[in-house]
Amino acid sequence: MIPFRSQPAAPRLAEGYRLLENTPPSPEALNRLLTLMGDPPRSTERWSLVLEHSLWHFSVLDPAEQLVGFVRITSDLALNANLWDLAADPADPEQRGVLLALVHAALSRLRRELGGCSISLSAPPAALEALERHGFVVDPGGIRAMGLQLVRD
């Protein structure tokens, strides 16, 4: 059985938390969340550009309407899909559930709309449980991925 095709049941977010689809968070909220994860902040223009070039994105808001989770998806609409900026606030008591909800939402939509795509992603260690639950394998067969971050001068 192919794990991507048989996902676990949709996780339930804790009371007061909301999963939003394609409702862009503010660049300030995104930068706050990603800097908590150790990523550098991005300019408003850069956020506008990456959201414009994403197929869709998911956000999670806590009961106080603060952004506590985010992921965005890009694809060539044929063979490849990428999950970017997968993040959940490490200080939020529901971080585990937020990550489960984001991964499930992203993979469910990919399964419905782009079922044959291979998926690549970069994820924080806190997301490993959610990813493994959906069939991802860390370094399958000893194969390790490499990445290069390009920096503008």
What is the tens place of the pLDDT at every residue in 115-124? 888 888 877 8
Do residues 69 and 88 lie in contact, with contact meaning Cβ atoms separated by under 8 Å?
A: yes
For the entire predicted model, the pTM comes to: 0.85
71 — pLDDT class (breaks 50, 70, 90)? very high
Calculate the alpha carbon distances from 132 to 73, 81, 125, 137, 139 in Å. Answer: 18, 18, 11, 6, 12
Contact 31, 43 (CB under 8 A): no
Does residue 145 register a pLDDT over 70? no
Residue 149 has pLDDT above 70, yes or no: no
From CA 52, how far away is CA 54, in angstroms rounded? 6
Cα–Cα distance measured from residue 46 to residue 96, given in angstroms and rounded to the nearest whole number: 28
Q: What is the pLDDT of residue 2?
A: 44
Domains, the chain, with CATH or none: 3-142 (3.40.630.30)
Which residues make Cβ contacts (< 8 Å) with residue 101, sequence separation at least 6? 10, 11, 13, 17, 19, 60, 69
Bridge-based pairing state of the strands 56-61 and 18-21 = antiparallel
Average pLDDT over residues 87-94: 96
Neighbour count for residue 92 (Cβ, 10 Å): 19
